[in-house]
Amino acid sequence: MKTILKAGLSVAMLSMLAACGGGNDSGNHPKPASMLIDFNKDGITGWTGSSSDYTPETAPTNVIFEARTLPTPLTGKGYFIGGTNRSDDLFLFVKKQFSGLEKNASYSVNFSVKLASSAPSGCMGVGGAPGEAVWVYAGATAAEPKAVAVNNEIRMNIDRGNQAAGGKDAQVLGNIANGLACGSTAYASKTVKTDKSQKVTTDANGAVWIILGIDSGFEARSEVFLQSVQIDATPVTF
């Protein structure tokens, strides 16, 4: 039976320990586990943001990661992520480590992310559409996701894929086009989900890092409010 858990406390996923069987020493097998992260209720404590996929000459400007009140007609607060793409390929991401899963265990993970976007659908833009050419990412890794310098470029240290194609450590859930007509500047909420599960193996402490982000081919400013993310983890059996 799957246990439904809520995140947002400082201990975050520690209560997931019971849902996962309590660790290898217990002799139990991992069990399915779920967690809802609601940025309106839980805030952004423990989350940090960064960016990648650019050179020093094409570094993004006006990069912001912070809790903000959602614009009308929406209510509540969200995790605001924004930046101006000067490299034709800007990845903005936030991350947090969660513990309490089975140690050194493999899970199949699915994500459902609710976000608010002001990017209308079906519009033209420099380098790509402001909505359809900005992809939403979610992933889970045992290693901490970091932006690192590689041959004069800032790249990710994990295999998260790029733009419309995900990688081993993260998946593309959709894009930020909000369904409103071109010319609209209003914010609207949408939910995007994984279409295939991602496999992750926890570390020796039963911990994983969760990464959420947007990858832009639109050569201008992109911004979204992350509202919530539902994470479902199912043990992988061999």
Question: pLDDT tens digits, residue range 131-150?
Answer: 999 999 999 999 999 999 99
Tell me which residue of 187, 194, 193, 191 sits closest to 224, measured CA to CA. 187
The amino acid occupying position 142 is A
Phi–psi pair at 18, nearest 5 degrees: -65, -40
Q: Provide the token pair at 67.
A: 């809790």
pLDDT the model gives residue 126:
83
Position 69 pLDDT exceeds 60 = yes
Q: Which CATH class is domain 3-235?
A: mainly beta
Q: 4-57: per-residue pLDDT in tens?
A: 333 333 334 433 433 434 444 444 577 788 999 999 999 999 999 999 999 999
pLDDT the model gives residue 11:
37
Cα–Cα dist 158/161, whole Å: 9
Phi–psi pair at 74, nearest 5 degrees: -80, 160
Q: What is the pTM of this model?
A: 0.88
Q: What's the pLDDT band for 238 if we cut at 50, 70, 90?
A: low
Position 215 pLDDT exceeds 60 = yes
User: What's the first-to-final CA gap in the chain, in angstroms?
Assistant: 20
pLDDT the model gives residue 110:
97
Residues in contact with 30: Cβ distance below 8 Å, sequence separation at least 6, in sequence order: 20, 21, 101, 102, 105, 107, 235
Q: 85-143: per-residue pLDDT in tens?
A: 998 899 999 999 999 899 999 999 999 999 999 999 999 988 889 999 999 999 999 99
CA torsion 190→193→195→197, rounded to 10°?
Answer: 170
- Alpha-carbon distances, residue 132 vs 113, 114, 135, 177, 194 (angstroms): 16, 16, 7, 5, 16
Q: Using only C-alpha atoms, what is the Rg of the chain?
A: 18
Q: Burial of 128 by CB count in 10 Å (0-12 exposed, 13-18 middle, 19+ buried)?
A: buried
Q: Provide the token pair at 42.
A: 């839980």
pLDDT the model gives residue 155:
96
The amino acid occupying position 35 is M
pLDDT the model gives residue 146:
97
For residues 48 and 97, is the Cβ–Cβ distance under 8 A? no
